[in-house]
Amino acid sequence: MEHVRAFKERIEELIDNRLFIDLRNVLASAEPEDIAWALNELEKEEYIVAYRLLPKGLAADVFVEMEPDAQMNLIATFSDAEVHNMIEGLYTDDAADILEEMPANVVRRLLENASPETRRVLNSLLKYPENSAGSIMMTEYISLQPNMTADEAIEHIRRTAIDSENVYTCYVIKNRRLVGVISIRELLLMDRSALVSTKMLTNVISVGTGEDREAAAALLAHYGFIALPVVDAERRLLGIITVDDAMTVIQEETEEDFAKMAAMTPTDKPYLRTSSFRIWLSRIPWLLLLMVSATFTGMIITGFESALAAQVVLTSFIPMLMDTGGNSGSQASVTVIRGISLGEIEFRDLFRVLWKEFKVSILCGLTLSVATFIKILLVDKLLMHAPITTLVAAVVCATLFMTVVAAKIIGCSLPMLAKKLGFDPAVMASPFITTIVDAVSLLVYFGFAKMLLGV
């Protein structure tokens, strides 16, 4: 993104020197995504000036890519006629996205200035629940009839393409139902007088409006489609999800998973443009919650204070046991969380997953315990002359083994249970697993110490 930064600096320079004609030319030849990125970085007065210089067609494309607060500020400077042109110039999915982010009074002004037809479509799109396939579909697509010839179909596309972003996949409608799909490539390759119905695919893969938007995007990615049709219960075509919107959904959901796995509430702005206060807000509830749960681990230690006082050397292994347990558990949990996200693992695989993690944990536990046993006897005892008996080494290694097994079992099963209960499995990642595994490993540790060392 080096060139986008250079582009932004060039724009700032031109605004500072009030070279507006140069600025207009620079903007006119740039990509809308880059212009929006640069404008989002500027001050309010600056981006309003720059936006005014954009050619009409480009302005709408840039507007779509800007951040909600900037969009709101720009709308405030629009006349009613400009609002009308803007909303009519957008694809319905983009317009609905913008409406969702605006306060009620702005939404009212936008809808009042839209044409009745646009208003009807937008109102219906806004009714679909957030994160549903319906909420990300666009209503502009190419529809053909099965008894059109290839030539007629191409003529039809010529006449209607102006309204559609995606003309590459065409949908064949009969009696208002989706009966087939055909690509423009196929239309060009087939005999000009052959009927669309002879070459269309009739086994159309589609989703319902209520389907989760992440699942819809994953389906599109799985089949490598350029667009995915969205239908109602009667298989009437309501809209399509395009590949670029699906990629955005996948990217957003991935970032949300990363944030949740590191115990943060996802934020929607890029990091460098998010205020410190907002970042604090997204992090502090989780830190407080996890800190409170970590005090239980402290309480376990308090309960065994006399044992620790008798054998102070036991304390020095606590960090190693806790960290290894935490790491073993988060390996299992992250693997399972991603498997669930990608649709590779479902709840009914629970026992297959448990059995696999059990075998892996035995292998890992054995390796780590044997390595630790040798290390304690050779390095700590022989080289460093630490006051460690073989029995203490045995307690540490037995605990390590049990901790790894418990950590992997807990790590793989909690995300699956969370999913089953309707929670987001990503929340069951490292931080929570670590807190639980810490407590387990200490209980095991003191249990073995009591049993074998009699402390």
Range 179-198, binding a copy of itself (CB under 8 A): 184-185, 188-189
Beta-bridge partner residues of 45: none
Question: Shortest Cβ distance from residue 18 to a copy of itself (Å)?
Answer: 26
The correct pick among 71, 139, 297, 399 for binding a copy of itself (CB under 8 A) is 297
Which stretch, 48-56, 75-83, 112-120, 335-343, contacts a copy of itself (CB under 8 A)? 335-343
Q: Between 8 and 106, name the residue whose CB sits nearer to a copy of itself.
A: 8
Helix (H) or strand (E) holding 169: strand 169-174
Q: Between 53 and 279, name the residue whose CB sits nearer to a copy of itself.
A: 279
Sign of torsion, CA 102 106 112 113?
Answer: negative
The correct pick among 77, 147, 198, 302 for binding a copy of itself (CB under 8 A) is 302
What is the pattern of x (binds a copy of itself, CB under 8 A) and - over residues 255-284?
A: x-xxx-xxxx-----xxx---xx-xx--xx
* Pairing, β 169-174 against β 177-183: antiparallel
Pairwise CA distance, residues 130 & 116, whole Å = 24
Question: What are the Cα distances from residue 269, in Å, to 84, 99, 135, 252, 407?
Answer: 28, 18, 20, 11, 35
- Whose tokens are 């049709």? That residue is 229
Which stretch, 82-90, 118-126, 352-360, 417-425, contacts a copy of itself (CB under 8 A)? 352-360
Residues 88-147 touching a copy of itself, rule: CB under 8 A, are none
The correct pick among 377, 378, 386, 452 for binding a copy of itself (CB under 8 A) is 386
How many residues form the binding site for a copy of itself (CB under 8 A)?
A: 110
Dihedral pair phi/psi, residue 180, rounded to 5°? -170, 170
**Residue 307, Cβ density class (10 Å: 0-12 exposed, 13-18 middle, ≥19 buried):** middle
Pairwise CA distance, residues 63 & 119, whole Å = 19
327 binds a copy of itself (CB under 8 A): yes
407 within 8 A of 428, measured Cβ to Cβ: no
Q: Between 238 and 263, name the residue whose CB sits nearer to a copy of itself.
A: 263
What is the token pair recorded at 70? 């900037």
The correct pick among 63, 286, 401, 446 for binding a copy of itself (CB under 8 A) is 286
315 binds a copy of itself (CB under 8 A): yes
- Whose tokens are 């993104």? That residue is 1
Helix (H, G, I), strand (E, B) or coil at 244: helix
Alpha helices in 304-389 (DSSP H): 305-310, 318-341, 350-375
Q: Between 120 and 343, name the residue whose CB sits nearer to a copy of itself.
A: 343
The correct pick among 55, 224, 422, 454 for binding a copy of itself (CB under 8 A) is 224
The correct pick among 102, 221, 354, 427 for binding a copy of itself (CB under 8 A) is 221
455 binds a copy of itself (CB under 8 A): no
Which stretch, 41-49, 50-58, 106-114, 154-162, contacts a copy of itself (CB under 8 A)? 154-162
Which stretch, 70-78, 91-99, 129-137, 318-326, contacts a copy of itself (CB under 8 A)? 318-326
Residues in the chain: 455
Rg (CA), the chain: 30
**Residue 455, Cβ density class (10 Å: 0-12 exposed, 13-18 middle, ≥19 buried):** middle
Which stretch, 6-14, 133-141, 232-240, 346-354, contacts a copy of itself (CB under 8 A)? 346-354
- Give DSSP secondary structure letters for 75-136: HHH--HHHHHHHHHHS-HHHHHHHHHHS-HHHHHHHHHTS-HHHHHHHHHHHTSPTTBHHHH
Residues 356-375 touching a copy of itself, rule: CB under 8 A, are 356, 359-360, 363-364, 367-368, 371-372, 375
Q: Between 135 and 328, name the residue whose CB sits nearer to a copy of itself.
A: 328
Q: Between 118 and 361, name the residue whose CB sits nearer to a copy of itself.
A: 361
Which stretch, 80-88, 230-238, 298-306, 446-454, contacts a copy of itself (CB under 8 A)? 298-306
What is the token pair recorded at 269? 């702005």
417 binds a copy of itself (CB under 8 A): no
The correct pick among 17, 25, 44, 343 for binding a copy of itself (CB under 8 A) is 343
The correct pick among 392, 406, 436, 442 for binding a copy of itself (CB under 8 A) is 442
The correct pick among 195, 290, 354, 453 for binding a copy of itself (CB under 8 A) is 290
Which stretch, 29-37, 74-82, 91-99, 108-116, contacts a copy of itself (CB under 8 A)? 29-37
Alpha helices in 163-229 (DSSP H): 184-189, 196-199, 213-223
238 within 8 A of 230, measured Cβ to Cβ: yes
